[in-house]
Structure 1
Amino acid sequence: MTVQIKYCGCQSEEDYKLLIETKADLIGFIFAESRREVDPKNVNRWIEKYGKPKKLVGVFQNATLEKIKEVVNTVPIDIIQCHGTESIHQLKEIRDHCNKKIYKALPFSENIIKEIATYGKVSDALIIDSVSQGQFGGTGIPFSWKEVPNMMRKAEQIGITCFIAGGIKPDNVSELMRLHPHGIDLSGGIEENGKKSVQKIETLERMIMR
């Protein structure tokens, strides 16, 4: 199985121009309060200028259905990623009203296998991310990867894809690849001075493709 690559936190025209030339399968834009938050109108301009050769993901956190629909009507995203405490009911509502694939981010915990079984029923893919000092996502710190094989098996049982996120970098991605994740999700690990780095991306992709 070929690992899927998602590069998230695309926050400028320069980032977008770089990322569409990489081996990524998915490019993510954050439409939630964050230092990487982007304006949907700007994103749409980049897409119109450079095309859309990759699948695009819109990342939201406890957003209203109206907010999500507004972005979906502006940006031709393929996937809605919910990165907050959205309930099963809310995920179903978003899927039904927006007619997009749904990815759900889950914080790693001792209950993660049960969470995968629960949220996998209404999601096309799950993204397991780390928690540090109460912050979920964007921590730059990996969680313990020893449970990755068990998480992949559970996801396969219910027929969904499972991505690993949080603190993945060129210097540790080989360790993760040995555990055979379905996908990896990176943002800060491929940045230099707040911008996506072609050198880090090329190094990381060499490690993955070996």
Structure 2
Amino acid sequence: MTVQIKYCGCQSEDDYKLLIESKADLIGFIFAKSKRKVDPTEVSSWIEKYGKPKKLVGVFQNATLQQIKDVVNSVPIDIIQCHGTESVDQLKEIRVHCNKEIYKALPFSESIIKEIELYGKVADGLIIDSVSQGQFGGTGIPFSWEEVPNMMKASDGIGITCFIAGGIKSENVSELMKLHPHGIDLSGGIEENGKKSVQRIETLERMIMR
């Protein structure tokens, strides 16, 4: 199985130009509170200017249904990623009203297999991310990857794709690849001085695809 690559936190026109030319399968835009938060109008202008050769993901965190619909109506995203404490019922509601694929980010914990089995019934994909000092996602710190094979097995059992996120970079991606994740989700690991870096992307892609 070929590992899927998701590059998240695209935050400028230059980032978008670079990422659509990369080997990524998915490009993510953050519409939640974050240092990488982007304006939907600007994102739409980049897509109109350069096209949409990749699947696009909109990242939200505990957003209202109306907030999500407003973005979906202005940006041609393919996937809605819920990165907060959204419930199974909320995911169902978002799917019904927005008619998009739904991904759910889950914080790694001792109960992660149960969470995968719960949310996997309604989500099209899962992202397992790390928690550090109470912050979920965007920590730049990997969680313990010992459970990755079990997480992939649980995801296989319900037929969904499971991405690993959090602190992945060229220095440790080879270790993760040995555990055969379905997908990897990178943001800070492909940045330099706050911008996506072609050198870091190319280095990571060589290591992932060899």
Alignment TM-score > 0.5, same fold: yes
Q: Distance in 2 between matches of 1:33 and 1:179?
A: 32
Equivalence for 1:207: 207
1:195 matched to 2:190? The reply is no
Q: CA deviation at 1:171?
A: 1.1
Cα deviation digits, residues 122-155 of structure 1 (max 9, x gap): 0000000000000000000000000000000000
Q: Which runs of 5+ in 2 are unaligned?
A: none
Q: Distance in 1 between matches of 2:103 and 2:209?
A: 25
Equivalence for 1:174: 174
Equivalence for 1:82: 82
Q: Distance in 1 between matches of 2:169 and 2:119?
A: 27
Q: Distance in 2 between matches of 1:25 and 1:170?
A: 18
Equivalence for 1:146: 146
Q: Distance in 2 between matches of 1:114 and 1:156?
A: 14
1:14 matched to 2:11? The reply is no
Q: Distance in 1 between matches of 2:42 and 2:146?
A: 40
Equivalence for 1:56: 56
Q: What is the DSSP-based 3-state SS (H/G/I as helix, E as strand, rest coil) of the residue aligned with 1:151?
A: helix
Q: Distance in 1 between matches of 2:208 and 2:31?
A: 28
Q: Distance in 2 between matches of 1:134 and 1:48?
A: 38
Q: For 1:57, give the aligned amino acid.
A: V
Q: CA deviation at 1:26?
A: 0.1
Equivalence for 1:100: 100
Equivalence for 1:156: 156
Q: For 1:175, give the aligned amino acid.
A: E
**Aligned pairs, number:** 210
Q: What is the DSSP-based 3-state SS (H/G/I as helix, E as strand, rest coil) of the residue aligned with 2:152?
A: helix
Runs of 4+ in 1 over 4 A off after TM superposition: none
Q: Distance in 2 between matches of 1:33 and 1:209?
A: 33
Q: CA deviation at 1:184?
A: 0.2
Q: Distance in 1 between matches of 2:33 and 2:127?
A: 19
Equivalence for 1:39: 39
Q: Distance in 2 between matches of 1:189 and 1:95?
A: 31
Equivalence for 2:185: 185
Q: Distance in 2 between matches of 1:134 and 1:12?
A: 28
Cα deviation digits, residues 5-41 of structure 1 (max 9, x gap): 0000000000000000000000000000100000000
User: Taking every aligned residue pair, what percent have the same amino acid on both sides?
Assistant: 85
TM-score, normalised relative to structure 1: 1.00
Q: For 1:182, give the aligned amino acid.
A: H
